[in-house]
Amino acid sequence: MKNLDFKKLAVLIGIIAAIIVTIILLVVGIGKSNKLSKDETEKVNNYILNNIIDLTEGYDSKYKGKDALFASEKVQVDKLSPQLIINSAIKYADINNWTTSIPSYKVNQAAAQGFSKEKYSIYEGEIIRKAIKELYNIDFKNTNAIDLLGYRYNFYYLQDIDVYMKETKQILIDKDGYNIEHTIVESKKKDDKLIVTIAVAYTYNDGEKKYYSNDENNKNIIFESETDKSEIIKDKINSFNKFKITFTQDNDNIYFESIEKLK
């Protein structure tokens, strides 16, 4: 009888121990933050600065086209025009110092086809495709990208020498002092996604002060700052429009997927 009671007690203790362990694991799991680390947040922020904020640069506006990105309710990679994809790839390649000198025979062959180096910039097709793959994780099909309404650049692909020729088809008068700035409000992981919420401000620098507003016409000024400052004041964040940027994460690589305006 005592042996039986001892066995029952041992089983009971085992059950209680299992329950305690389960509760601890649940508490640890629930309490575990899915926020990005400081290093991850910095990496994502640099990506946004270098590749997202300027994504629509080239349209005719006082913000040099940057505002076009934030005028839409949602922008997805699979909906981007070839012009924007190629131009963003060129900027990405420049940042990474991939745009090395082009062999003279390619420059000469391009010129023979009417693409002189005085009027066109030339880029290796291999470099453009590599940049697009690293930015968006897509295998880009080489194509001409011309005559996008209101866009200042044309891109021509020369298949025989595998290069892209960039033409600035219209010289716009740049409006000095206008810019778009952002700050990260929230960043988190969800499965293989990184989800980052940013607040976006339209700024105007008149040389003495910088004015932060939540509209592209700079009518609704939220606050002013010194001209050398570049940060949205934390207690004013809720006065600005918010946008959710979604990235796909694959090991150490992140790929831009979409940006959408939050209601």
Q: What is the pLDDT of residue 235?
A: 87
Amino acid at 250: D
Burial, 83: exposed, middle or buried (Cβ in 10 Å; 0-12, 13-18, 19+)? buried
Of 184, 223, 227, which Cα lies nearest the Cα of 49? 184
Backbone phi, psi, residue 79, to 5°: -110, 0
Q: What is the pLDDT of residue 234?
A: 83
Only one residue has tokens 């209680």, namely 16
Only one residue has tokens 């934390």, namely 234
Q: What is the dihedral of CA 79, 80, 81, 82, to 10 degrees?
A: -120
How many other C-beta atoms are found inside a 10 Å radius of the C-beta of residue 240? Answer: 23
CA distance 80 to 55: 10
Backbone phi, psi, residue 228, to 5°: -90, 0
CA distance 202 to 53: 12
Q: What is the pLDDT of residue 222?
A: 94
Helix (H, G, I), strand (E, B) or coil at 14: helix
Three state DSSP letters for 120-179? EEEEEHHHHHHHHHHHHCCCCCCCCECCCCCECEEEEEECCCCEEEEEECCCCCCCCCEE
Assess contact for 242 and 262: CB atoms under 8 A: yes
Q: pLDDT by residue for the chain (263 residues), tens digit each?
A: 555 566 666 666 767 766 775 665 555 444 444 888 888 888 899 999 999 999 999 998 899 999 999 999 999 999 999 999 999 999 999 999 998 789 999 999 999 999 998 999 999 999 999 999 999 999 999 999 999 998 999 999 999 999 999 999 876 666 789 999 999 999 999 899 999 999 999 999 998 999 999 999 988 999 998 877 777 888 899 999 999 999 999 988 999 999 999 98
Of 183, 185, 184, 223, which Cα lies nearest the Cα of 203? 223
Three state DSSP letters for 184-244? EEEEEEECCEEEEEEEEEEEEECCCEEEEECCCCCCCEEEEEECCCCCCCHHHHHHCEEEE
Q: What is the pLDDT of residue 197?
A: 96
As given in the structure block, the two tokens for residue 227 are 């001209």
